[in-house]
Chains A and B, each alone.
Chain A
């Protein structure tokens, strides 16, 4: 059982990265972006299609990242232009619709699950050390390092830079931010483009480990949302820890035969417990009255 938990922990960095992308979009663009992983998967598959066609990986990588960034920018422009003044609920619902659309297109073009037609490069596959009887590969350390860099980097950006301040203003009060001269639409679009590029990189990093088909990668949003819940959609360090916790829980659930079949429920249970924990001090009938 200990080995299974350790094995699960090795997935934690990956989950943390995905959760961080959700939290970033929420904090910087004030949208719970359900289409995030699907957009990242689209960028990743553009890259892998180019490498499959014989293009050098170092040329295909920027092309894939650019594709993810452009697609995210397009979705962002839809939200900024047509739904800028709407509530967060409406924006989230729009991203759900976009998720369905992007998934449909992605599965149509990159479909099939087990033919092995698309092979993602695996630059970080070499073992580093052994913990229990689990061999830990480089990719685990790279995921964790990437997650820490994002957590620290974005934390510094938000707290120490002018752009960070403007982004926070944009996230909290978009209309007020615009009134005081912050170029809200342009800034928001920039955030969407950056998130698209980062998500594509994250999906490219996790794809060799989690499965190389579009559907699996697009559906990673479920796990990402659960991790983001653990960080309350605000705290980057808590989101990082949340990813590791979710990984451990998954490993644990896989090791117990009686609950093995219900592993898919783990992210949902995490969301439920996180909601319950957060609302434990709220007074009945006063919170969430809408």
Chain B
């Protein structure tokens, strides 16, 4: 009997200790110790952005080396969701409930926003993705990415094709992912309303396999410009074979990589829209800050790492301006009430702000492939409907 009582007492004590430890760290309400910040990144799997958490951590390390935020260090907890929906939902719950993060900063997952938007809202936690991929990243109350996103970019790409390049017959060869159809339709509609033009030809089901059939249809429709968002090498190689040297091809930001520039055959006219200042020219406004930090930390220079540095920078700036103790609810409140931040790496100021929809950054800069490299074009940020 005595032993049973002792065991029960010990178990109760342990339970109380564990629960008190959990409650102090898991709610994100702790106002001392390191400020825990979460991120869900695609590091392995189909959508790989390993440089993103590295760059966010590099910014946090820099802040910590300078004394932190009001004496508190920043701690990044990044989880690789491998583009696996189950892992992504588990990661969000783990970060919020077990790790006690105050916010998510620098996420770069292809599935995070759509799956976890409700979790973020329910737990009153905000996310500032470095790379917003799906439509839910831009239409959720608690998520505000630092990139324009694929749909705003699409409007800018169409606008560039018709207004800057002056083409009447603009076409699209696009892979529209499940759940993205409405976003694409809306982006095309917005362009039509601004310019009074309509697509001359569209293929919204460009899948895997030989692209020749799509290119032949583009030729038949007399397309002067074709927007495309799939793998570059095979498509451009077949476009060259089909004699489409006179057509302007415009790719999305996902194709703006050094390797793709090399994959474009000579004699083809290829542009790419970017979401931040083109990363291939480090002298552009805002790029020096990014280039310095990724070079110093030996991180791969990509557009995604630009988003990583920007998301970390704007978060730190808001944090440093807070008067309340830093915890989850105060961080959420500060971001929802913040003033816009002018960040020269993007076309328009970034702000989290109140509201149910967050797509603060607009506009795109364009680069052109020349001799296996991307050359930055001089127009500056192209914001549809806005004179530059």
Question: Contact residues of A with B, CB < 8 Å?
Answer: 3-4, 6-8, 10-11, 14, 107-108, 111-117, 119-120, 122, 125-127, 133-135, 137, 208-213, 215-216, 219, 223, 250-251, 254-255, 260-264
Contact = CB atoms under 8 A, between A and B. Distances in A.
Contacts of B293: none
Given A14-B210, A111-B46, A137 B259 contact: no
Contacts, number: 126
Interface stretch (B85-93, B227-235, B374-382): B227-235
B189 interface: no
B209 A127 contact: no
Given A10-B210, A264-B207, A4 B217 contact: yes
B194 interface: no
Q: Which 5 pairs across A and B sit closest by C-beta, in order of nearness?
A: A116-B260, A116-B259, A7-B213, A11-B210, A216-B208
A115 B260 contact: yes
B47 A112 contact: yes
B205 interface: yes
Given A116-B262, A135-B241, A111 B232 contact: no
Nearest to B235: A211
B257 interface: yes
B255 interface: yes
B209 A250 contact: yes
Contacts of B232: 114, 116
A117 B241 contact: no
A133 B220 CA distance: 8
B234 to A, nearest CB: 5
B67 interface: no
Interface string B209-246: 11011111101100000000111111001101111000
Contact of A261 (B204, B219, B231, B257): B204
B184 to A, nearest CB: 12
Contact of A112 (B48, B205, B210): B48
Nearest to B264: A116
Given A107-B46, A137-B241, A254 B214 contact: yes
B46 A112 contact: yes
Nearest to B251: A114
A262 B204 CA distance: 11
B114 to A, nearest CB: 19
A4 to B, nearest CB: 5
A111 B220 contact: no
B174 to A, nearest CB: 11
B84 to A, nearest CB: 11
Contacts of A215: 46
B212 A125 contact: no
Interface of B: 44-48, 203-205, 207-210, 212-217, 219-220, 229-234, 237-238, 240-243, 254-255, 257, 259-260, 262-263
19 contacts: A11-B213, A108-B45, A111-B44, A112-B46, A114-B232, A114-B255, A115-B257, A116-B233, A126-B241, A135-B241, A208-B234, A208-B237, A209-B210, A210-B208, A210-B209, A211-B234, A212-B234, A216-B209, A216-B231
Contacts of A126: 241
A283 B45 CA distance: 48
Given A4-B216, A113-B46, A135-B241, A211 B259 contact: no
B259 A210 contact: no
Could you say which of A10, A116, A119, A251 has the most chain B C-beta atoms within 10 Å of its C-beta?
A: A116
Contacts of B219: 133
Contacts of A3: 216-217, 220
Could you say which of B213, B216, B262 has the most chain A C-beta atoms within 10 Å of its C-beta?
A: B213
Nearest to B49: A112
Contacts of A119: 233, 259, 262-263
A189 B243 CA distance: 46
Contacts of B230: 114, 211
Contacts of A116: 231-233, 255, 257, 259-260, 262-263
A111 B220 CA distance: 34
A122 B263 CA distance: 11
B254 A260 contact: no
B45 A212 contact: no
A260 to B, nearest CB: 5
Nearest to B238: A209
Nearest to B212: A7
Given A116-B255, A133-B220, A213-B231, A10 B212 contact: yes
Given A7-B212, A117-B259, A211-B233, 13 more contacts: A3-B220, A4-B216, A108-B44, A115-B260, A116-B255, A116-B257, A116-B262, A122-B237, A127-B241, A133-B220, A215-B46, A254-B217, A263-B207
A106 to B, nearest CB: 11
